[in-house]
């Protein structure tokens, strides 16, 4: 599989996980929605890294992926990423934590917080789309 094929696959899966998050949100399955939100953003950022560098790190930390993406970004994208890391630090932490907590532990999220996080992921993915 070429890097371009892998990029397309990651972007397609990212979109499907975001759809899954919205569907689970509508059913009030907030822990599953949070896991899908994580998967969407994780695959999206790793797809961008594949398109820029041909590879991606095996980490589950969304903040680390954003920091690494800055190494391959233009000045406008670096500014956006820095703004996301500052303005959405709480949401990014919650998304990263959801990778583990929503799968293995009892987790409690509010409709409002999950809705805000879905909107945040849509913004990040929309702004950084190649």
Which residues lie below 8 Å from residue 69, measured CB to CB, with a gap of 6+?
45, 48, 49, 52, 77, 81, 128
- Please name the residue ranges forming H helices in 2-130: 3-26, 30-53, 62-70, 75-87, 89-104, 111-128
Domain assignments of the chain as residue spans, ordered by start = 3-128
Class of the domain covering 3-128: mainly alpha
Distance CA 61, CA 58 (A): 9
Q: What is the pLDDT of residues 30-85, one digit of tens each?
A: 999 999 999 999 999 999 999 999 989 889 999 999 999 999 988 889 999 999 99
Residue 18 has pLDDT above 90, yes or no: yes
Predicted TM-score (pTM) above 0.75? yes
Question: Which tokens sit at 119?
Answer: 């909107």
Please check whether residue 45 is in contact with residue 62, taking contact to mean a CB–CB distance below 8 angstroms.
yes
Contact (Cβ atoms closer than 8 angstroms) between residue 94 and residue 113:
yes
């Amino acid at each position: 599989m070429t890097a371009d094929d892998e990029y397309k696959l990651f972007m397609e899966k990212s979109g499907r996980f975001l759809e899954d998050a919205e569907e689970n949100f509508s059913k009030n399955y907030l822990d599953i929605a949070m896991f899908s939100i994580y998967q969407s953003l994780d695959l999206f950022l790793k797809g961008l890294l594949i398109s820029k560098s041909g590879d991606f790190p095996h980490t589950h930390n969304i903040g680390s992926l954003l920091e690494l993406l800055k190494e391959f970004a233009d000045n406008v994208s670096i500014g956006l990423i820095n703004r996301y890391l500052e303005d959405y630090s709480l949401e990014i932490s919650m998304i990263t934590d959801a990778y583990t907590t929503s799968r293995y532990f009892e987790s409690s999220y509010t409709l409002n917080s999950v809705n805000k996080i879905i909107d945040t992921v849509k913004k990040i993915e929309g702004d950084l789309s190649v």
